[in-house]
Every structure is written in C-alpha cells, then in structure tokens.
Amino acid sequence: MVTGGARGIGRAVVESLAEAGATVAFTYFTSGDAQALVSSLEKAGGKALAVPMDVTDRETVEAGVKTVLDTFGGLEILVNNAGITRDGLLLRMKPADWDAVLDTNLKGTFYCTQMVARAMVRQRYGRIVNITSVVGAAGSPGQGNYAASKAGLMGFTKSMARELAPRGITVNAVAPGFIETDMTQAVGEERRSHLLPQIPLGRFGRPEDVAHCVRFLADPNMSYITGQVIHVNGGMYM
C-alpha cells in the first residue's frame, strides 16, 4: 500500500512495484484520476486498488487499511509517501501551517504504520518505507515545519526498526533531494538555478529515481537492511 499514490513520487512507486509483480493498493485524497491509474495497471496485467484516505483522519486510515486487507487478504509493503509543504519563515509562520504539515507528514505516517503493522505483526513479515527528505537532514530556511516533520520521520523510522525487527518487519526511510513533481513546480526559476549547481550529478531528480530505491528496500530479499535513511539526491547532501 502506497499512500498518496495517484501522482508524483507516490505514483512512480506504485508503477515500479506493480512492474515488479506486486499487487498494489494506493491511497488518494484530492486526486481525481485514481481510477485511471488502476485501469492502466490492470491493462498491463497487474492487480490494483485505489482507496480514498486522508492520512490526518484516523477513521479514514482505519477504513482504508481494512478495505485493502479485506480485498487482498494481507499487506506486506507499506510506503508512507503522502506529504505536504506549507512554507514560511519562522516569524511569519501560522500555527495552522505548522499543524497541517506535522499532522500530514508525521502523524499521518504514525496512523498508517500503526494500522498496517497490526497485520504485519500477525504475518511476521513486512517492509515499511517512509519518504522523508533531504530537508529533514540538512534543514532549509522557510521550511521549519517541513524539516521538523521529516527529521521526526527519521527518528520514527529508527524506533520502529528496533521495535518491529523481532517480528520480521524492516523499516527504512528514503530521503529524496529535489525531485520534479507538483510539489517542486512552484519553486521559481531563480531558486532552481541556485540549487542546480549544488547537485554533483548535474540534474534534478525524477520520481523514478526515488521509486527504484523504494522498490529495492521493499524487496523480500532485503531482509538485512533496517533503520536506515537512504538519500536519493544526486549528491546534493552527503
């Protein structure tokens, strides 16, 4: 199950996991074309399911996870990808923007992980991958709320890795750098030309760059990697 799988990085993860042969459920919140993605995955021979979910709303998380479990009978991979930004400098940041980002990125991941881990613990198997950010490690002016949520995810990942290891569940994080999606669309030309020279590999990332790493960590053979944060950022932060 991939949260926020209808577009951006989440969609690339859904497509990559489906290509690897996984039966994929993904969640959508405001995206209107989730069913079109299901149809295209099914046309390619896969099995897919789209479930509505607001990760900040515990009831929809519970209902969504139940639908996935009832439909597929189990849940082996969870990718906590849903996330938002509400940028603002400290002195101007509205408490509502702080709360929205922490509720979506951090509390949402807690809700989803808690619901899904129940099934994984029973199965004594699971792969959990949390999508954090380079910003959680390096910081970023104007993104105090986002950086706090993503750094929080790194601590959560390591704690869950320790807690769930005895049950055969690995928990890792992927920290993307600057990836071309709707989220980074709003970044102006000036900021882009400031950022590009800081990337040794000389280009912004593509959603597929992140998806390949998630697919690697979600593989059944990856049973000896847990509690790690893997940076996918073209070298912009080492």
In whole angstroms, what is the distance from residue 66 CA to residue 119 CA? 10
- φ, ψ of residue 39 in degrees (nearest 5): -60, -40
Give CA–CA dist 93/98, Å, rounded: 7
Kindly state the tokens that stand for 151.
Answer: 């750094």
Q: What x/- string results for residues 74 through 93 when contact with ligand NDP is judged by CB under 6 A?
A: -------xxxx---------
Among 16, 23, 104, 145, binds ligand NDP (CB under 6 A): 104
Closest approach, Cβ 205 to ligand NDP, in A, equals 7
Cβ-Cβ contacts under 8 Å for 96 (sequence gap 6 or more) = none
- Of 3 and 226, the one with the shorter C-beta distance to ligand NDP is 3
Interstrand relation of 126-131 and 24-28 (parallel, antiparallel or unpaired): unpaired
Least Å from the CB of residue 224 to ligand NDP:
26
Q: Which of residues 197-236 bind ligand NDP (CB under 6 A)?
A: none
Cα–Cα distance for residue pair 22/17, rounded to 1 Å:
6
Label residues 154-170 b or e (16+ Cβ within 10 Å = b).
Answer: bebbbebbeebeeeebb
Single out the residue of 16, 22, 24, 29 in contact with ligand NDP (rule: CB under 6 A).
29
- Note the Cα 120 to chain centre separation in Å: 18
Nearer residue to ligand NDP within complex by CB, 103 or 219: 103
DSSP assignment string, 193-227: HHHGGG-TTSS-B-HHHHHHHHHHHHSTT--S--S
Choice between 94 and 124, CB closer to ligand NDP? 94
**Which CB atom, from 176 or from 234, has the smaller least distance to ligand NDP?**
176
Considering only the stretches 116-124, 161-169, 172-180, 213-221, report the one whose residues sit in contact with ligand NDP under the rule CB under 6 A.
172-180
Among 23, 133, 157, 172, binds ligand NDP (CB under 6 A): 133
User: Is residue 125 annotated as a catalytic residue, yes or no?
Assistant: no
CA 11, CA 231: separation in Å to the nearest integer? Answer: 19
Which of 28, 111, 125, 146 is labelled catalytic? 146
The correct pick among 184, 199, 228, 229 for binding ligand NDP (CB under 6 A) is 184
* Interface stretch with ligand NDP, choices 13-21, 22-30, 62-70, 214-222 (CB under 6 A): 22-30
What is the helix (H) or strand (E) element at residue 175, kind and residue range?
strand 169-176
Binding site for ligand NDP (CB under 6 A): 3-4, 6-10, 27-31, 53-56, 81-84, 104, 131, 133, 176, 178-179, 181-184
Instruction: Indicate which residues carry an active-site annotation.
Output: 146
